[in-house]
Amino acid sequence: MFAAGHSLGGRFVHELGTRDPERFRAIADVSGFYGTSIGQPAAPPPGTLLPVLIVHGALDLTVPPGGGPGLLFPNVNFQPTQFTYDSWYANNGCTEPTFRLLSIIALLVDIQRTNCTASRSVRAVEFVSVASLGHHWPAIPDDFYDASSEMLAFFDSQ
């Protein structure tokens, strides 16, 4: 089973993944968040190895990628999106280095990825930052990144 969500639905996907990681083959969130000043999910068991795809817009004012209060929620401080990536990296017991995927559109789409290897399977934690993206689901041609097809490809690779 896979789980995917946008915005608060993305937050829910992280909650599902931390509460019941063995139920899912992979999860993905677009413009979501892992934690806030109000709370965050309890960490799943160490070495969970749940593949996670995180897609976030660099121009998101609702859930700022650098953390802090959002436009719609000025009294809530969001954790930075990098914190989400780092949390899953640690939860999954990753020890392999993070690397950036370079492409012809590297200035528009920045992809950080790590692989975690356990018992002959490779599981990825991937963070995609789309430079032109606000708080919406990215699609080509406007955003230079098609979250739907990339998410399906990510799920297929698991």
The CATH number of the domain covering residues in 2-156 = 3.40.50
CA angle 16, 56, 127 (to 5 degrees): 75
Q: Among 68, 84, 53, which Cα is nearest to 146's?
A: 53
pLDDT at 96: 78
CA angle 28, 30, 31 (to 5 degrees): 140
Specify whether the CB–CB gap between 135 and 62 falls below 8 A: yes
Which sequence spans correspond to the domains of the chain?
2-156
Question: Sign of torsion, CA 37 66 87 14?
Answer: positive
For residue 104, what is the DSSP state?
T
- The whole-angstrom separation of Cα 143 and Cα 91 is 30
Q: Are strands 52-57 and 68-69 parallel, antiparallel or unpaired?
A: unpaired
- The whole-angstrom separation of Cα 11 and Cα 73 is 15
Tokens encoding 132: 């032109």
Q: Note down pLDDT in tens along the chain; length 158 residues.
A: 999 999 999 999 999 999 999 999 999 999 999 989 888 888 887 767 899 999 999 999 999 999 999 999 899 999 999 999 989 988 887 877 777 765 555 567 788 888 776 544 667 888 988 888 899 999 887 777 899 999 999 999 88
pLDDT at 120: 47
pLDDT at 147: 92
